């Protein structure tokens, strides 16, 4: 690190008699640089214009022209883990996030659903040096996502002064679950009025920075701006999507080759790099029907429109920094959290909540999407493009998000900071990892991580500074070794070599087949040389075991993928017996969202026998609304009163709606209403019966279940977007609910059968 000069003075705010202390490389506190992290979600290596794409990203390209692009930068292959490493400078298992933050496995590497306090976030570190700190966007760093708490893993508790965004791993860009600071926030305008989440978070980021500058112009700031884009759903204003009409009609085979040639032409990949073959889940474009091609192309147009729209929002932020004379004193770091996602499957998905299996073709998917082609990218779709476009987005690499191959972990990185970058527009080739970014920021500022933060003794970074790359294009990498592991896919880089294993389609870890690549000579991982260099492979396998033990990788998540790498939370949920629980709500006077533990019948829990009973009072037949709801437009169920009838609707991811309506009207005054859902394992169906004052009043059969549902469970309302087109959200109940009881019945488990299943996979 550079030599540090200590400056002590009143800079920006004071807290009583306490003064902020800066350790900066200049005695003028105004020279302490601002820091901005811009993070995109699920965007592949090749999808930016400045990385070879034909998608228009002029504002991001500007950052590249005025800064540095890195072509050998790596992430963890999945969202929560990358965000953990980005903000802590520490390997994600070590900090307490083995993969997705919601997977509280009980193991030390994902114990609590929150990041361990001994690995402070950059926001917490910089606050120790007097920085103001702001975050707007996707968080996904706490498993606790209800405003009722706990909130210790939320942004304000992790060092940010202000926060605005959503907490989940994905969200509807038109109807997000907004949080401001520690409180639920209303959506500021409707979709009809032009609402989009990306615009909203940049509006708020600029507002936060403007207010800060007006009040404390001498105080540096840290802004963390993690977009929900480019994660599914690929939502964008229609004019952005339509601007790409016809531009992907040639198909992914031709476009991938074009992007590969562009990459060589602009120098972002070596001239001797090889384009890897596509995997078996990517169809030949010429083999697709005209209808399929129309759907596939439109889904890619939606993705491209969303990326260009996101780029425009980044441009607004950069313009504000420039107009306010702060741009050149700001370190801007731009990256993606993992490679392009293949969770759209072979055919793509009009509604991505229908599944995440990269190998499957959804029944009726093409016909439905073709009939609703113009809805793709709008609030009526939760769309995701097909595997073929993900393969294109990761050009020239193989595999995708979640894989430890380069397609999952090699991502764009752009750093703009004119005071340190002397050859803007250049490409850097040193091997680096997302854990290296926060150590780099502290090195540039000239400070060290404090020994204690909030009274907690801090552990050291596992990342190294990249500052040397700014001035020394040809200096060998300071990163010698780095392991990878997510969902059983794992690998290790060491000194120009990489060993990697694709565990997605293997049940037994002992049967994994390791691959070996000499990545210093084989940039795109095109040539597996495991048979040629068996001793080198064994060396790297031993190195992986050492690094994995050192950084807390074990125990790895073990489960059967059955050749279908789907969402892990669902995989585990299907294997864990459903417990019995009864939850009683009394004096329910207004709508309220529930924490996950206070809900029933959500997601895979739909198959558990359950009931909802409500004691309600109505003064007139006009009083109506939702009593209990799970999910939103793209999957879930709702129990409600409408048109003076009791109703139940199960939304199977917008494919089927199973509706029960009472055979008689509801009486006014006091009445007891309920539904009972009973699952039949032999038919894999559920019978749902309605009751009015304990007398049967209606029935429906749920023949197919939702793969995923929305991100909310609520009493007396259905917020965000409606489970059923029978009403508009939030459809709050206008009567009175004296008591609501949720009852979930336990699964009956055949212990001997479970033992047999376990022994068969040993």
Confidence label for 564 from pLDDT (cuts 50, 70 and 90): very low
- Contact call for residues 450 and 128 (beta carbons, < 8 A): yes
pLDDT at 504: 85
| Mean pLDDT confidence for 18-32 | 45
Categorize the per-residue pLDDT at 558 as very low, low, confident or very high, splitting at 50, 70 and 90. Answer: low
Return d(Cα 203, Cα 197) in angstroms, integer: 10
Q: Is the predicted pLDDT of residue 573 greater than 60, yes or no?
A: no
Domain limits, CATH 2.60.120.200, in the chain: 577-744
More confident residue, 325 or 599: 325
The pLDDT of residue 272 is above 80: yes
Is the Cβ–Cβ distance between 159 and 120 less than 8 Å?
yes
If one looks up domain 34-329+347-470 in CATH, what number appears?
A: 3.40.720.10
Q: Tell me, what's the pLDDT at 103?
A: 82
Given a cut of 60, is residue 409 above it in pLDDT? yes
Question: What is the rounded (10 degree) CA torsion for 202, 206, 212, 217?
Answer: 130
What confidence tens digit (pLDDT) does each residue in 179-193 have? 999 999 999 999 999
Of residues 141 and 19, the one with the higher pLDDT is 141
Quick one: pLDDT at residue 81? 97
Task: Give the separation between CA 241 and CA 712, rounded to whole angstroms.
Answer: 29
**Assigned token pair, 61:** 């390209």
Are 176 and 721 contacting, i.e. CB atoms less than 8 angstroms apart? Answer: no
pLDDT above 70 covers what percent of the chain?
A: 91
pLDDT at position 17: 32
Above 70 in pLDDT, residue 410? yes
Instruction: Kindly report the CATH class assigned to 481-571.
Output: alpha beta
Confidence tier at 545 by pLDDT (50, 70, 90): very high
* Average pLDDT estimate for 445-471: 97
- For residue 47, the SS3 value is coil
* DSSP-assigned letters across all residues of 205-237: HHHHHHHHHHH-TTS-EEEEEE-STTSSS----
Average pLDDT over residues 624-650: 97
Chain segment 338-364, per-residue pLDDT in tens: 999 999 999 999 999 988 888 888 788
Tell me the three state secondary structure of residue 327. helix
Residue 560: predicted pLDDT? 38
What is the C-alpha separation between 164 and 490, in angstroms, rounded? 34
What does the block give as tokens for 320?
């504000």
Count Cα neighbours of 384 within 13 Å in the Cβ-side half-sphere: 30
What does the chain come to in residues? Answer: 762
Task: Quote the tokens at residue 477.
Answer: 């990498």
Give which of 572, 727, 569 is closest to 639, Cα–Cα: 727
**Euclidean distance between the first and final Cα of the chain, in Å?**
50
Question: How far apart, in whole angstroms, are the C-alpha atoms of residue 304 and residue 95?
Answer: 34
**Which whole number is the average pLDDT over 24-50?**
82
Query: What region does 399 belong to: left with phi over 0, alpha with psi -120 to 50, or beta?
Result: left
Q: What is the pLDDT of residue 748?
A: 53
Q: In a 10 Å sphere around its CB, with 0-12 CB exposed, 13-18 middle and 19+ buried, how is residue 749 labelled?
A: exposed
Q: What is the dihedral of CA 444, 449, 454, 457, to 10 degrees?
A: 170
3-state SS of 376-400? CCCCCCECECCHHHHHHHCCCCCCC
pLDDT of residue 636 exceeding 50: yes
Mean pLDDT of the chain: 91
Question: Would the pLDDT of 323 be above 60?
Answer: yes
Both tokens assigned to 680: 């039949």
Q: Which of 435-439, 449-453, 615-619, 711-715 has the lowest mean pLDDT?
A: 711-715
Check residue 557 and report its DSSP letter.
Answer: P
Residue range(s) in the chain whose domain bears CATH number 3.30.1120.10: 481-571
- Residue range(s) of every CATH 3.40.720.10 domain in the chain: 34-329+347-470
R_g (Cα) of the chain, nearest Å: 26
Phi, psi dihedrals of residue 210, rounded to the nearest 5°: -65, -50
DSSP codes of every residue in 459-505: PPPSS---THHHH-TTSPPS--EEEEEETTEEEEEETTEEEEE--TT
The two tokens of residue 624 are 């109506």
pLDDT in tens, 368-394: 999 999 999 999 999 999 999 999 999
What is the fold, at CATH topology level, of the domain defined by 577-744? Jelly Rolls (2.60.120)
pLDDT at 220 over 90: yes
- What is each CA distance from 9 to 14, 15, 22, 213, 452, in whole angstroms? 10, 12, 8, 18, 21
User: What pLDDT shows up at residue 15?
Assistant: 29
Query: Helix (H, G, I), strand (E, B), or coil: what is residue 497?
Result: strand
């Amino acid at each position: 690190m550079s030599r540090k000069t200590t400056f002590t003075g009143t800079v920006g705010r004071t807290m009583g008699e306490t003064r902020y202390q800066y350790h900066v490389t200049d005695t003028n506190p105004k020279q302490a640089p601002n820091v901005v992290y811009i993070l995109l979600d699920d965007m592949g290596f090749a999808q930016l214009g400045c990385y070879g794409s034909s998608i228009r990203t002029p504002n991001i390209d500007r950052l590249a022209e005025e800064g540095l692009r890195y072509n050998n930068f790596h992430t963890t292959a999945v969202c929560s883990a990358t965000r953990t490493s980005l903000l802590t400078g520490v390997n994600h298992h070590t900090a307490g996030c083995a993969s997705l933050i919601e997977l509280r496995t009980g193991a030390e590497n994902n114990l609590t659903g929150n990041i361990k306090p001994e690995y402070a976030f950059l926001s917490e570190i910089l606050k120790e040096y007097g920085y103001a700190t702001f975050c707007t966007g996707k968080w996904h760093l706490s498993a606790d996502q209800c405003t009722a708490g706990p909130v210790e893993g939320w942004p304000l508790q992790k060092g940010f002064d202000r926060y605005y965004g959503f907490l989940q791993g994905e969200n509807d860009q038109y109807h997000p679950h907004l949080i401001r600071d520690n409180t639920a926030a209303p959506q500021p305008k409707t979709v009809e009025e032009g609402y989009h989440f990306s615009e909203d978070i940049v509006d708020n980021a600029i507002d936060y920075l403007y207010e800060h500058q007006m009040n404390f112009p001498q105080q540096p700031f840290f802004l963390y701006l993690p977009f929900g884009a480019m994660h599914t759903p690929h939502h964008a204003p229609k004019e952005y999507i339509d601007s790409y009409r016809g531009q992907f009609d040639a198909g992914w085979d031709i476009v991938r080759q074009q992007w590969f040639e562009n990459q060589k032409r602009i120098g972002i990949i070596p001239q001797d790099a090889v384009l890897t073959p596509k995997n078996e889940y990517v169809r030949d474009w010429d083999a697709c029907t005209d209808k399929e091609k129309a759907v596939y192309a439109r889904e890619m147009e939606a993705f491209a429109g969303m990326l260009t729209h996101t780029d425009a929002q980044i441009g607004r932020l950069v313009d504000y920094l420039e107009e306010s004379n702060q741009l050149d004193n700001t370190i801007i770091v731009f990256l993606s959290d993992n490679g392009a996602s293949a969770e759209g499957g072979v055919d793509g998905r009009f509604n991505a909540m229908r599944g995440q299996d990269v190998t499957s073709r959804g029944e009726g998917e093409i016909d439905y999407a073709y009939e609703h082609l113009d809805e793709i990218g709008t609030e009526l779709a939760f769309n995701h493009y097909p595997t073929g476009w993900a393969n294109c987005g990761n050009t020239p690499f193989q595999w995708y998000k979640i894989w430890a191959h380069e397609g999952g972990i090699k991502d764009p990185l752009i750093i703009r900071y004119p005071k340190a970058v002397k050859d803007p527009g250049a490409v850097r080739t040193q091997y680096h990892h997302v854990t290296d970014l926060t150590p780099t920021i502290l090195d540039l500022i000239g400070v060290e991580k404090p020994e204690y933060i909030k009274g907690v003794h801090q552990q050291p970074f596992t990342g190294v500074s990249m500052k040397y790359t700014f001035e020394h294009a040809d200096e060998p990498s300071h990163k010698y070794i780095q392991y990878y592991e997510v969902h059983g896919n794992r690998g290790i880089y060491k000194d120009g070599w990489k060993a990697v294993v694709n565990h997605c389609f293997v049940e037994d870890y002992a049967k994994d087949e390791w691959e070996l690549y000499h990545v210093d000579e084989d940039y795109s991982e095109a040539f597996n040389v495991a048979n040629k260099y068996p001793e080198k492979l064994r060396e790297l396998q031993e190195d992986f075991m050492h690094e994995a033990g050192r950084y807390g990788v074990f125990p790895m998540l073990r489960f059967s993928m059955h050749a279908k790498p789907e969402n892990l939370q669902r995989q585990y949920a299907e294997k864990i017996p459903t417990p019995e629980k009864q939850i009683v709500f009394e004096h329910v006077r207004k709508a309220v969202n529930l924490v996950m533990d206070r809900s029933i019948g959500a997601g895979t829990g739909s198959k558990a026998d359950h009931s909802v009973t409500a004691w309600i009072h109505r003064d007139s037949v006009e009083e109506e609304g939702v009593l209990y709801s799970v999910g939103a437009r793209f999957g879930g169920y709702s129990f409600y009163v409408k048109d003076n009838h009791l109703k139940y609707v199960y939304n199977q991811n917008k494919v089927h709606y199973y509706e029960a309506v009472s055979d008689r009207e509801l009486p006014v005054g006091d009445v007891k209403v309920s539904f009972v859902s009973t699952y039949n394992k032999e038919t894999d169906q559920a019978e749902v019966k309605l009751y009015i004052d304990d007398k049967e009043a209606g029935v429906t059969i749920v023949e197919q279940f939702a793969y995923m549902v929305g991100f909310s469970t609520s009493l007396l309302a259905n917020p965000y977007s409606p489970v059923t087109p029978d009403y508009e959200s939030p459809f709050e109940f206008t009567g009175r609910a004296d008591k609501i009881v949720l009852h979930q019945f336990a699964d009956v488990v055949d212990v001997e059968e479970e033992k047999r299943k376990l022994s068969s996979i040993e």
